[in-house]
Structure 1
Amino acid sequence: MMPRIHQHTLTWPLAVFAVMLAVSWRRWVSIIADSGRELDLPLRLSNGETLYRDIHYLYTPLAAQVNAQLYQWFGARLETLQVSGVICSLLVVWFCYRIARHLLSPAASTLAACSIIIFCVFKPAGNLISPYSYSALYGMLFSLACLLTCLHSLRQRDSRWLALSGGFFALAVLSKQEFALVAGAAIWATVYLVLHQADFEEREIRARDVGQDTILPYIPRHSRDGVSGGAHKLFRTLRSPVLGIMPLSVIAGWWFVTRYDWDLLVNDCHLLFTNLPASLRFYNAHRTGLNAPLASLLQMLGGAGVAVTVACAIAWFSVKAAPSLKRRALLIGLAALSFALLIGFVSRGQWDGSPLRALPLLLLVLLWQARKQTNQGALFIIAAYSLAALLRVMLRVPSGGAFGSFFLPTSLTLLVYVLLRVLPDAIARWSNESDAVTRAQRFGWALLVTALVCTAVVFGIRYRRTYSHLIETARGTFYAPRDAGAAYGEALRWLQQNTRTDEAVAVFPEGSDLAFFSERRMPLRHQIYIPGLVSERDETRVIEQLRELRYVLIVNRPMREFGATAFGQDFYQRLGQALAEQYRVVQICGAPNEPDIAIGDQRFFIKILERKTP
């Protein structure tokens, strides 16, 4: 039996959201890493620069243009985008709650919504208030809207919802390219189910017409018109999402064609993921787990071992009158736990023991089980969407980091579904005890609520202890990590005291948020100098631009995730040599007593360089 929750079930998620918002207040922005692009790029657009041509950008344009418009309406401040992040996060929670209601009771859907708030919205290393990419936030929001409208279309058998899903698909693609696959998976699954459902109903009607239900499996699947009839049904079903996609696609296509040339978008900005430099291939291989596929598979199996251990523990506590089942659950649980511990030892710190590693296996099982059951359409669509969302991290699903928040919301909903519905029903079926369902659900609730409360407390402590250095600027107030924040604040004060407002100041290899918060101007085309991403022509152009700049900042930001560490030494050596020849160090923020400290050191610091007098 489910715990009783007040009839206004959204009260609990809103309360949890408010508490986490208060605990983490102004502690959302991650200085240097990605924040410069997210904060400074919209400002440059609102000042008249052109996306892709004047400012290099790897994503589709919607988020950048929307944020530029927000700056024009509400001012170029950190809080402008963070309010957008809060609103989008609330919408994400609302969409996920409505999605969960297609599978779960109001109480269980409330629990799923709370899990998304804690594990996704307010995860310290990758929250949604100041995300690593607003493109990803908007893309996820529109893809969830696409999923929800697909579910409504299936339930209400109304093609207008499917047409609306096509519009959300187009918006998701215009926000971030990879969400084309995610939103597209929801539409594909819906179309598949609509065709399957229509075919099933047609076979039932024909079986009744001949008066023999026993021959139902032997009646051909196609209509009287054969292949042409199936093609006609496919066309009618696809017509709605295509009509939804077309208007925005035509507008976006016209916008791209009239403003840019193909080579700039495809070969320089890689919007179609073509001609990627080695550094981005290296990065993507690590994200997917394909850099070490065997180790990634072992960790996935280790995650499955943890999940089986938990399931066996719930079964052992839930069963009362089936000693043989309790014995099997105990033996299987101990074996799974031993296997998981062995994998953890072999992984040598590369896996944190999270069962989330095994999510792709769970989703495949759910997808397979639901594919031919006409009453499991919502499960099929949500599982297909969730699996597509995990494709980029298929072999290495993260439990932390900046990206998990965008991949996990619907998967967390399905975990709640498995713990509160699938597993209790299975335990009751195996044990032949009707009241085992109630006991298993109680244990599932206890496990989930305990995990949420403990995680919320840990996250709250982490926010307060880690982000303790207050930084106040004209363009926003926030807390940063103590050591890095001290160096960051020192660099901001130096810029404000020694440079003019709106003066051009270059920042390498990343950190144009320093220019944003100091009200200075980042003049370079690339906001982030990812190894190998800047062409030789652009590197030459930057070297020429240095002649016009008084000051340059070099942030000790290792790029290990891209296969290199030190800017100017391991990558972009020509640029590093030009800086060494033309500039001298005038300030080291974060290591003032070590003038010879080298880029690539373990400590965080910022070097301020001044152009040598000719």
Structure 2
Amino acid sequence: MEETKRMEAGVGALGLLALAAIGAALLAFGWDRGPDVLVDFGRELYVPWRLTEGDVLHRDIAWFNGPLAPWILEGWMRVFGVSLDAVQALNALVIVATTALLMSLIARLTSRASAWAGALTFLTVFAVAQQEVIGNFHFLSPYSHGITFGFLAGLIALDGLARGLASQRSGWYLVAGAGAGAAFLTKAEISLAVGAGSGVMLVATAAAGRSAGWRARAIMAWAIGATAMLACAWSRLDAQLDGVGVRAALLGTWPYALDDRARDLSFYRKMRGTDQPLASLERMALWTAGLGAFVAAVLAIGARVGASGVRGARLIAFGVALALGVAALFFVPIHWLLLPLPLVLLARALLVFRRWVRAPQTATLDAARLSFLVFSLALLPKVLLAPTARQYGFVLAVPGTLVLVSLLVHCVPHWTSHGPGQRMMHRVNGPPERPSARRRAMSAAGFGLVVVFCLANLFATTQRFRSKTVEVGIGADRILAKGFRGVVMAELLRDLGKRTGPDQTLLVLPEGIMVNYQLRRRTPTRLVNFMPPELVFFDEDAIAAELASHPPDFVALIHRPTLDYGYPFFGEGFGEPILEWVRAHYDEVRIIGDDPFDPNPKAFGAAVLQRRAGR
């Protein structure tokens, strides 16, 4: 027994070292290659920089997410300096903490093998990954820190509740409540999922077969933790905003998430798959059936190998699954491999719920499993009919994907060794005296499929990262960008750096606040981006009036097609009053690259405009 424990400890230590090495290599390779030079991420640097200079959310900066993420980034920058490197270092710590919590949860809910496989999947597919042209959809440089910080807070909430229910310690409920309160202060989609998952555990607590006093203390501790976080945020907002608009600021994303005008933009309908709902449902059903048949066949082969009694059965099953998985990738694109996610999660949740309701007083493990499944499902509405690891899926699909990993590595093999599953496998594979060997071989085959999925995503990421060789910005703010787009942005920074003084203002349209951040030049308006969602949330005429009262010294027009939102360019269907005002008051002094309104999809360029004398 002692020798077995020492062996398990040694294997665990080697596994941790291997994961640490993989994580470190990914971070080193992705460092400076993740941020997009134009889209989204500039806001994540500009806003906390302005907060360190004394600006206030909602008063000086138009903000439609919760306040927690920019406050954390502001505090981090005050301690470690204002730089991209400092933010990436913070995000590296978030990746470590997220990996550790995911491993803890998955190991408690299923098995250690599932936890190792899940950690590998998270690191290679989600944490530092890029499968398309635009970056910003991974944890090292996310399009919104609210979604990654909120996700981590949600894991703290679920882990605390699972530990508290199992140990009967109300202190864990206090931690869980604080996590849930923090998640509420980030983004609506995260808050909704954390609330749903936490609700399951609170119901389980109320139904637990323990003393009424303990149940009351536990639920009260959770409420105190959540309320304390919200009260702290309210206090700071109230002090900064002098009591004006505090409630709306505390609600963060919720008013905007419920705005039909934003939800109906073509970009978001396509992300959800609701632009063509029937076609999306048909595609989901076909992929679910096809992938289900393929996975069942691979696991059945693994079971047959295990039942045969051949030496090295697990290694053989792993190798066969690896080979078959690689062969399959020649025929299927990896970005649709998560399409079955909603259907599988729903089916799994119903099975666990059925088992839990039979014994709610004692089934604490099933309650925690159901909580995680509900959390996984509740994250999906934004990508409901088209879930992938790309774009918003880099966070929203994480827990559901790890459920799939656990099914492959642990749940299905375990099911074949008990009850009806055991009897069925005996009839198919026999002989009955080798159930454990069969289970281990099936688990190895499932792990092989997981490794194929990880390697395929890792290959796509490395191809994207290797193409980024152009330096945009310098020093601790350097970004490595791709091709002509990077060349234009680098030249734009050099040009504006010479033309503008540190006290002058710069307006970049319709998107490109990264330029303001890297040059440390303020934008003259509360708005930092002028894309369709922002102009839906904030009145265009009011923005034009704000520009007229605080005109920028320089304007940069960036080539940014907006067909994904249903419009050709800024000024064609949205932003007309702003662009008209700019053209009436500014003269073009230089074009870098192509014309910023060139309809050629391969074009990219920027125009520099200077305010006319006397205007």
TM-score range, shorter chain: 0.7 to 0.9
Task: Say whether the 8 Å CA contact 1:506–1:551 is kept in structure 2.
Answer: yes
Unaligned runs of 5+ in 2: 1-6, 308-327, 357-362
2:294 is the alignment partner of 1:310: yes
Q: Which residue of 1 aligns with 2:446?
A: 444
Q: Which residue of 1 aligns with 2:404?
A: 415
Looking at structure 2, the residues matched to 378 and 395 of structure 1 have their Cα atoms a distance apart, in angstroms, of: 26
Change (3 A) 1:408 1:558: same
Looking at structure 2, the residues matched to 317 and 268 of structure 1 have their Cα atoms a distance apart, in angstroms, of: 52
Give the percent of matched residue pairs that are identical in Structure 1 and Structure 2: 22
Looking at structure 2, the residues matched to 236 and 266 of structure 1 have their Cα atoms a distance apart, in angstroms, of: 31
> More deviation in 411-420 or 266-275?
266-275
Deviation at 1:234, TM superposition (A): 7.3
What is the TM-score with the length of structure 2 in the denominator? 0.83
Please give the residue correspondences for 1:12-31 in structure 2 after superposition, counting only pairs within 5 Å.
Answer: 12-31=18-37
Looking at structure 1, the residues matched to 371 and 125 of structure 2 have their Cα atoms a distance apart, in angstroms, of: 23
2:348 is the alignment partner of 1:366: yes
Task: Say whether the 8 Å CA contact 1:12–1:110 is kept in structure 2.
Answer: no
Q: Which residue of 2 aligns with 1:540?
A: 544
Please give the residue correspondences for 1:25-64 in structure 2 after superposition, counting only pairs within 5 Å.
Answer: 25-64=31-70
Please give the residue correspondences for 1:485-564 in structure 2 after superposition, counting only pairs within 5 Å.
Answer: 485-531=486-532, 532-533=535-536, 534-545=538-549, 548-564=551-567
Residue deviations 1:511-541, cap 9 Å, x none? 1110111232222211111223231442232
Q: Which residue of 1 aligns with 2:186?
A: 175
Deviation at 1:103, TM superposition (A): 2.7
Change (3 A) 1:277 1:498: farther
Deviation at 1:564, TM superposition (A): 2.2
Task: Say whether the 8 Å CA contact 2:121–2:454 is kept in structure 1.
Answer: yes
AA of the residue aligned to 1:166: G
Residue deviations 1:341-361, cap 9 Å, x none? 9xx9xxxxxx86623111111
CA RMSD of aligned residues (A): 3.1
2:228 is the alignment partner of 1:247: yes
Task: Say whether the 8 Å CA contact 2:170–2:217 is kept in structure 1.
Answer: no
Please give the residue correspondences for 1:340-379 in structure 2 after superposition, counting only pairs within 5 Å.
Answer: 354-371=336-353, 372-373=355-356, 374=363, 375-379=365-369
AA of the residue aligned to 1:448: V
Give the 3-state SS of the residue equivalent to 2:481 in structure 1.
strand
Task: Say whether the 8 Å CA contact 2:158–2:176 is kept in structure 1.
Answer: yes
Please give the residue correspondences for 1:94-243 in structure 2 after superposition, counting only pairs within 5 Å.
Answer: 94-124=100-130, 125=135, 126-198=137-209, 238-243=219-224
Unaligned runs of 5+ in 1: 203-228, 323-339, 345-350
Change (3 A) 1:279 1:485: same
Change (3 A) 1:6 1:590: farther
Looking at structure 2, the residues matched to 572 and 83 of structure 1 have their Cα atoms a distance apart, in angstroms, of: 36
Change (3 A) 1:305 1:311: same
Q: Which residue of 2 aligns with 1:335?
A: none
Task: Say whether the 8 Å CA contact 1:474–1:517 is kept in structure 2.
Answer: no
AA of the residue aligned to 2:407: V
1:6 to 5, 11, 15: 11
2:276 is the alignment partner of 1:292: yes
Looking at structure 1, the residues matched to 200 and 460 of structure 2 have their Cα atoms a distance apart, in angstroms, of: 38
Residue deviations 1:469-516, cap 9 Å, x none? 122425511201112100100100101122212421111111111011
Deviation at 1:303, TM superposition (A): 2.9
Deviation at 1:104, TM superposition (A): 3.6
Looking at structure 2, the residues matched to 268 and 101 of structure 1 have their Cα atoms a distance apart, in angstroms, of: 34
Give the 3-state SS of the residue equivalent to 1:424 in structure 2.
helix
2:461 to 455, 459, 462: 459
Q: Which residue of 2 aligns with 1:281?
A: 264
Q: Size of the alignment, in residue pairs?
A: 553
Q: Which residue of 2 aligns with 1:468?
A: 469
Task: Say whether the 8 Å CA contact 1:566–1:599 is kept in structure 2.
Answer: no
> More deviation in 240-249 or 81-90?
240-249
Looking at structure 2, the residues matched to 16 and 186 of structure 1 have their Cα atoms a distance apart, in angstroms, of: 30
Deviation at 1:284, TM superposition (A): 3.7
Q: Which residue of 2 aligns with 1:71?
A: 77
Looking at structure 2, the residues matched to 475 and 352 of structure 1 have their Cα atoms a distance apart, in angstroms, of: 34
Change (3 A) 1:270 1:129: closer
AA of the residue aligned to 1:98: S
Looking at structure 2, the residues matched to 75 and 151 of structure 1 have their Cα atoms a distance apart, in angstroms, of: 37
Give the 3-state SS of the residue equivalent to 1:273 in structure 2.
helix
What is the TM-score with the length of structure 1 in the denominator? 0.83
Q: Which residue of 2 aligns with 1:431?
A: 425
